[in-house]
Amino acid sequence: MTVEFTLNGAETRVSVPSDTLFVDVLRSEFGLSGARPGCMRGQCGNCAVLFEGELTRTCLLPMFRVDGCEIVTIEGFVKSKEFTDIEYGFERAGMDPCRFCIASKILVAHSLLLTELEPSDLEIERATSGVWCRCTSYSSFVEGIRFAARARKRRYNERSF
């Protein structure tokens, strides 16, 4: 099957069996390794991308569902202004990750802030519960999201003047 879609802002196409998983195609056809295969069961969050603007796990995403859609991977997201908020927040919180799951953490934080600029503890807990991380403290992740939220609000406020 030939699948056409927008990948990090560029129109693209690829011919693969329709049930090929998107996480595999990203790596093998496009050399994008930020979405990592982990559990391959939709649980660890390491394979996440923004699919039509929503956080989505690519280990459960067959290529036929990608046709005609817009995808942003971590490689594309780091070029956006939204990334600077998250980067600032995580640095400010002193997060010092091994980087195995950092793409997932960044996209989780961004997705949460898209819907809520002042997330409650419960909303943060819900959003972050799908990230399996072995080496950064949960509290610094939460703190990082809070700093990122403040940075994003500041940027939005400056933009409105």
Name which of 72 and 133 has its Cβ closer to ligand FES: 133
Reference 58, options 50, 68, 47, 66; nearest CA is 47
Name which of 79 and 99 has its Cβ closer to ligand FES: 99
Q: Which of 8, 46, 73, 128 binds ligand FES (CB under 6 A)?
A: 46
Binding segment toward ligand FES, per CB under 6 A, in 36-44, 62-70, 78-86, 109-117: 36-44
How many C-beta atoms lie closer than 10 Å to residue 121's C-beta? Answer: 9
Q: Interaction with ligand FES in 134-153: which residues (CB under 6 A)? A: 134-136
Q: Interaction with ligand FES in 99-118: which residues (CB under 6 A)? A: 100-102
Q: Residue 40 burial by CB count (10 A; 0-12/13-18/19+): exposed, middle or buried?
A: middle
Q: Does 34 bind ligand FES (CB under 6 A)?
A: no
| Six token digits for residue 76 | 């594309």
Could you tell me if 106 and 77 are in contact, meaning their C-beta atoms sit under 8 angstroms apart?
A: yes
Q: Does 39 bind ligand FES (CB under 6 A)?
A: yes
Q: Does 133 bind ligand FES (CB under 6 A)?
A: yes
Helix (H) or strand (E) run with residue 85 in it? helix 81-92
Name which of 1 and 135 has its Cβ closer to ligand FES: 135
Strand pairing class (54-57; 2-7): unpaired
How many C-beta atoms lie closer than 10 Å to residue 57's C-beta? Answer: 24
Q: Does 98 bind ligand FES (CB under 6 A)?
A: yes
Maximum separation of any 2 CA atoms in the chain, in Å: 50
Binding segment toward ligand FES, per CB under 6 A, in 37-45, 106-114, 117-125, 146-154: 37-45
**Which residues of this chain interact with ligand FES, rule CB under 6 A?**
37-40, 42-47, 57, 59, 97-98, 100-102, 133-136
